[in-house]
Amino acid sequence: MREICHPYLEATVGRSGAPHVHGGSDTTGAVRGVETITTGLRWKRLLDPLAVIGEVDAAGHEACRELGPQPLPA
């Protein structure tokens, strides 16, 4: 499996992003997991992770939109 994935993983080194996570009551573990994975992939974090807890409202959707160019479905 490593032989198949390795070229693709190397191709993404240096990518940047702004992670977002959603949780019902807590996002601590999710944020830690995302940071562990992206550190291992050697990606650069542009912004602190956006954590939305509970029901995702209009403000949560807007905050996600501000992270990147892909609009979220309504």
72 lies in a domain? no
Residue 60's domain spans which residues? 2-65
Structural domain total, the chain: 1
pTM for this prediction: 0.71
User: How many angstroms separate the CA atoms of 42 and 39, rounded?
Assistant: 5
Rounded to whole angstroms, the Cα distance separating 6 from 57 reads 39
pLDDT value, residue 69: 63
Can you list the positions of beta strands (E) in the chain? 16-17, 20-23, 44-45, 50-53
Residue 71 pLDDT greater than 60, yes or no: no
What does the pLDDT read at residue 73?
47
Residue 74 lies in a domain: no
Tokens of 52: 């939305």
Neighbours of 68 (CB within 10 A): 12
- Determine, yes or no, domain membership for 70: no
Report residue 34: phi and psi, to 5°. -60, -45
Cα separation, 29 vs 3, in Å, equals 30
pLDDT digits (tens, 9 = 90+) for 20-67: 899 999 999 999 999 999 998 898 888 888 999 999 999 988 888 888
